[in-house]
Amino acid sequence: MFSYRHAFHAGNHADVLKHTTLVAILDYLLQKEAALTVLDTHAGAGLYRLDGDYAAKSGEAAEGILRLLGNLPAEPAPALQAYLDLVKSFNSGNTTKVYPGSPFVVEHLLRPHDRLKLFELHPTDAKTLDGNIAQLEAGRQIAVMREDGFEAVRKFLPPPSRRALLFCDPSYEIKQDYARVLNLVADGLKRFATGTYAVWYPLIARPEAHDLPRRLRTMATQAGKPWLHATLTVKSAKIVGAGVAAATGTSVERPGLPASGMFVINPPFTLKPALAAALPQMVAALGQDRFAASSLESGGS
């Protein structure tokens, strides 16, 4: 379970979708004066060097944030512009060498009376995260805990202010993560039914990955809660291989993540129009073949 490091994937197309959605959610939630508590179940290291060994080895940022910056539309959608402005604030000049993970995306937007709870179990990333957060001198506003986020968040729901965003983006390298996400959200809705629950997941050739959004939708519907589901596909998951595969017309798995999704329960009413404008621009900028696409659906009261 300690093999996954988000540093290899920082700034990829999944992060573009994930963090654009996160910024758009916070843009609305932070308009109300009452304090907001944000719970980040899998915080990672917090900050990433795109010119560092990990990111350079995978090259995923080149097909994500860097590709987006190189293919910007003339007038970026407001949600996309807000995300790009945030990333730019961590860099100087016209270069993009630092990428903020979700802890620093949230921290950058929070007000002094809001609270951020960060959970990270990976020993190296937890230590790095602690050091990165310590430089902010944020005091009691931000807490870093080397604990299992799936379990540890329970003690913070409901929060004293009765306003919370739970953000969950595990690696899903362990198949059980899918079931644990469902259990986490189900328990969260029982403890704090009015909280906003945002779940990222990879769209890969695994039954659990395709079942997750369906089960989250059923859960939200049964609880009488509104929901929103957005996906971003940048390429086909399969390609025609060489040799025998090409001769027979069969396909083989294409390397790299082809798509991902965000599922939000109790989303701000502003989120759907924000993503409706941003998603087509993401497809145009990040699409790698004719299969690039996006989807956006919502339901509930």
Query: Which residues are tagged catalytic?
Result: 169
Are residues 126 and 146 in contact, defined by beta-carbon separation less than 8 angstroms? yes
DSSP states of 1-21: -----GGGTTTSHHHHHHHHH
Per-residue DSSP letters for 90-127? TS-TT---EEE-HHHHHHHH--TT-EEEEE---HHHHH
The conformation of residue 254, written as its DSSP 8-state character, comes to P
Instruction: Say if CB 116 and CB 110 are below 8 A apart.
Output: yes
Q: How far apart (Å, rounded) are the C-alpha atoms in residues 17 and 131? A: 27
Q: Count CB atoms within 10 A of the CB of residue 153.
A: 24
